[in-house]
Structure 1
Amino acid sequence: MDKQQFESMTLCPLDGRYGFVKEALGDYFSEYALVKYRVYVEIQWLKFLLENMESDVLKQFDKSKMASIEAISDNFNYDSFARIKEIEGVTRHDVKAVEYFIDEQLVELGFDYLQSFVHIGCTSEDINNTSYACMLRDGLNKVWLPKAKEMMTHLDELAFEHASVAMLAHTHGQPATPTTIGKEFKVYAYRMLESIKKIEAIEMKAKFNGATGNYSAILSCFSQVDWQVMAKKFVEEYLGLTFNPLTTQIESHDYTCHILDGVRHFNNILVDLDVDMWLYISMEYFKQIPVKGEVGSSTMPHKVNPIRFENSEANVDLSNSLCVSLSNKLPKSRMQRDLSDSSSQRNLGLAFGYSLQAISETLNGLAKCVVNVDKVASDLDGKWEVLAEPIQTVLRKYGISDAYDTLKELTRGKSISKEDILAFVETLDVLSPEDRDVLIHMSPASYIGDAVALAKIKL
């Protein structure tokens, strides 16, 4: 089956139509990745024991040969994966298959006496929870977070570029106090930055304490060792994770839920931008650059549709649905352990994948957009009634208690011209020459407050 045939038969678009997502995340969230990380954890556990435990068996090992042990995980490849899957076909247990694979490798290396220490004192979840924690850490730090930061940085650049481009704002869909295009982009950049910071602050937690979280098995053979201290050292120094000291058989998944909730929040900021861009395009505040050869409609040749933002919105919905489902499921487990979290966790990559696709769609959509300067200026110049706000605010300074009602009577629900505003200002004898001059020279395009400075704030 060639690539095109394969892509036509995939059930998930992340494996076919949006194949770049699989290429980006496959090293961290695929079945192959899960098996690879399991091998890594088992080898690190054996290394930890060799370097930190006193045992007649372990003393036989020449520590100068540690690199050959680590090579079992360092050199993991598709042949390794295939062999483990072959073993699993017999054992019907995926973690035990990893253990037996490592046993085989140790025999080939001449370290068969170490076989009994592979997986010693461990329950499967010791290996699984640490593997998933490493997968989440690496998938986030190497793929999702860089893409999220790329999105944020691009918006920050657009904010600076368009900092001074005045635009009629809309609250409740109605003309409102003007802003600038740059300042509005800056709001999204700042929101995304704050969301990213919160995700980055989440500790990737892991446990390594046996079948019900009490170190019972490992204490039965090494009773004089403080395994709470040793487990913490292994998890933090050898795996680079944060130790969770109190669990049942499973790590509680609470940190995973926090990550999923953080991704969902970022997604919601992204879709808020998507919807706004869709609306601004429909209002002709942005024009989309036609791409030669592209078709917008099968029957209307003139169409250039905002499909990137629409596609992003759809992928956000899928990612958020998975984030919510997983966040609701993972922290719940019957008594000390049930297996329902295992099947759920295998879908973590989809939650990140659909989010990654959404970010890419939005970036592509923004790349096709240019500000329609004439339309933006025209809409501003046609809405002089927005100056009712500064006029009534200035009048309040002079103690005019009915200033709001006066401007409401003049402007509410009406189209007001520049001449109407100037004529009204001329009737305001209470104004000082300085305030009168400010109002006379004010226009919708100049009534933007600190928008330019806000758009240029360094994040």
Structure 2
Amino acid sequence: MELNNLTAISPIDGRYRKQLSFLEEYFSEYALMKYRVIVEIEYFIFLADKKFFKLLPKQKQLLKKVATDFSLDDAQQIKQIEATTNHDVKAVEYFLKEQLDKCGAAELKEWIHFGLTSQDINNTAIPMSWKACMEHDYLPTIINLQQKLTQLARQWKHVSMLARTHGQPASPTTLGKELMVFAERLENQVQLFTHVPYTAKFGGATGNFNAHAVAFPGKDWVKLANAFVENSLGLQRVQFSTQIEHYDNLAAHFDSIKRINNILVDLCRDIWTYISMDYFKQKTKAGEVGSSAMPHKVNPIDFENAEGNLGVANALLEHLSAKLPVSRLQRDLTDSTVLRNIGVPVANTLLAIKSIEKGLDKLLLNEVKIKDDLDNNWAVVAEAIQTVLRRENYPQPYEALKELTRGKASITKDDIQQFIGSLKVNSTVKKELKAITPHNYIGVTPGF
């Protein structure tokens, strides 16, 4: 069968391709080739700028164009070369040497990939593509979700709601504040994410510039490499490396995304529970079916799909962050095949975020049910009453409220009012206590 959305093994390239195809610009084999070409050309031009050889302005312009206009046909050409070389990075080198022939610089061919090993290219190309995806797509997406939650929190800021700890009725809160919990958690984790630098390895076969130094012993190759990686590629060069980048900071990014995903799982489960409690209804769409057997069903599938995809993403992120920083001696090849999968958890994560946003847009607040739950749980003001009585130095107030409320099937407003009336306190305190209701006993929070 030909590969299409129905025959693809991975749902990322099949069922969900329409939603995720933009990621091919960062994580496909075509993208890896493109970023390798960019690194090789930028290094070649850097050497020319540092007077290792002379490159005409027109030749530089033509090479820049090879990088900026890199096409699927170019990638296919590299793939054909690889069929002979059986080495993907060497195929890129030969492809670029052919480009030098075309721009009249054949005599400069051996400056392509000068002094480098494959990992000098891979460990710069992959961080560049990763950085581009994080800055252009992932971070804006998670920030947009955080802002959406903040907007909903402000919209429902004054909606009093019964809290539940251990699944049991607890001191009331507001719906807005509970959403702000997630908004703040996401904001904090994004801040942590942005403090982790995008690092790269660039230092020859075992990280010591052996070939560079033997060819040009008078050059400060550490200084040159730092300038190239930072100024030409926009990355930070690790100063001490083996043949490969140690991936510690990339692992930190994976762990940051995993923590953010855990927050989103928590959000999905809470919203799912609120829907099951009837605090939210969901907008329906003509023609949609909730169940193949039960016509009434409107299932919270967006939050369920999101939770499932977040779980898949986190399983992969866990493996990536644990495996990549570990390599035998100066390197083994296990990182190579693993690195080709870094786009998969990003795809599952972004798919989950899209589902969460879709689910949030469907929510319809059911204030009647929320108010009913408060009205049916007057026992939650017991904490307030016993605390005021403590202030008044009333004897054993906690024990008195415990006797009144704990384990009882139902505590009504009348029960609470009668209890307050029986207290041996002055009328001012009784009035203060009777003014407390499940609807207004919501505490205080910072402004949002």
1:154 aligns with 2:152: no
Structure 1 residue 189: Cα displacement: 0.6
Question: Which residue in 2 is equivalent to 1:253?
Answer: 247
Question: Which residue in 1 is equivalent to 2:414?
Answer: 419
Taking a change above 3 Å as real, the CA distance of residues 366 and 347 of structure 1, as seen in their structure-2 partners, is same
Count residues in correspondence: 447
Q: Conserved in 2, the CA contact under 8 Å of 1:21 and 1:356?
A: no
User: What residue identity is the alignment partner of 2:444?
Assistant: D
Of 324, 334, 339, 2:318 maps to 324
- CA distance in structure 2 between the aligned counterparts of 1:64 and 1:292, rounded to whole angstroms: 60
Of 16, 24, 32, 1:26 maps to 24
Q: Conserved in 1, the CA contact under 8 Å of 2:153 and 2:176?
A: yes
- CA distance in structure 2 between the aligned counterparts of 1:24 and 1:376, rounded to whole angstroms: 41
- CA distance in structure 2 between the aligned counterparts of 1:256 and 1:139, rounded to whole angstroms: 13
1:287 aligns with 2:281: yes
Question: Which residue in 1 is equivalent to 2:41?
Answer: 43
After TM superposition, the structure 1 = structure 2 runs for residues 184-263 of structure 1, keeping only pairs within 5 Å, are 184-263=178-257
Of 257, 260, 264, 1:266 maps to 260
Of 290, 297, 316, 1:296 maps to 290
SS at match of 1:328: helix
- CA distance in structure 1 between the aligned counterparts of 2:315 and 2:19, rounded to whole angstroms: 18
Of 80, 103, 106, 1:86 maps to 80
When normalised by structure 1's length, the TM-score is 0.95
CA-based RMSD: 1.3
1:409 aligns with 2:409: no
Q: Conserved in 2, the CA contact under 8 Å of 1:249 and 1:336?
A: yes
- The percent of aligned pairs where both chains have the same amino acid is 45
Structure 1 residue 341: Cα displacement: 0.3
Q: Conserved in 1, the CA contact under 8 Å of 2:59 and 2:103?
A: no
Question: Which residue in 2 is equivalent to 1:13?
Answer: 11
1:308 aligns with 2:284: no
Q: Conserved in 2, the CA contact under 8 Å of 1:21 and 1:353?
A: no
- CA distance in structure 2 between the aligned counterparts of 1:240 and 1:445, rounded to whole angstroms: 54
After TM superposition, the structure 1 = structure 2 runs for residues 324-343 of structure 1, keeping only pairs within 5 Å, are 324-343=318-337
When normalised by structure 2's length, the TM-score is 0.97
**1:205-243 deviation digits (Å, cap 9, x = unpaired):** 012100111110111111101111111000000000011
- CA distance in structure 2 between the aligned counterparts of 1:95 and 1:281, rounded to whole angstroms: 52
SS at match of 2:263: helix
- CA distance in structure 1 between the aligned counterparts of 2:373 and 2:426, rounded to whole angstroms: 29
User: What residue identity is the alignment partner of 2:267?
Assistant: L
User: What residue identity is the alignment partner of 1:161?
Assistant: Q
User: What residue identity is the alignment partner of 1:427?
Assistant: S
Question: Which residue in 2 is equivalent to 1:448?
Answer: 442
Q: Conserved in 2, the CA contact under 8 Å of 1:35 and 1:81?
A: yes
- CA distance in structure 1 between the aligned counterparts of 2:19 and 2:361, rounded to whole angstroms: 20
- CA distance in structure 2 between the aligned counterparts of 1:383 and 1:300, rounded to whole angstroms: 32
Q: Conserved in 2, the CA contact under 8 Å of 1:24 and 1:143?
A: no
State the 4+ residue runs in structure 1 displaced beyond 3 angstroms. none
**1:9-59 deviation digits (Å, cap 9, x = unpaired):** 01111111111343221100111110000000000100110111x33xx13
Structure 1 residue 427: Cα displacement: 2.2
SS at match of 1:442: coil
After TM superposition, the structure 1 = structure 2 runs for residues 331-410 of structure 1, keeping only pairs within 5 Å, are 331-410=325-404
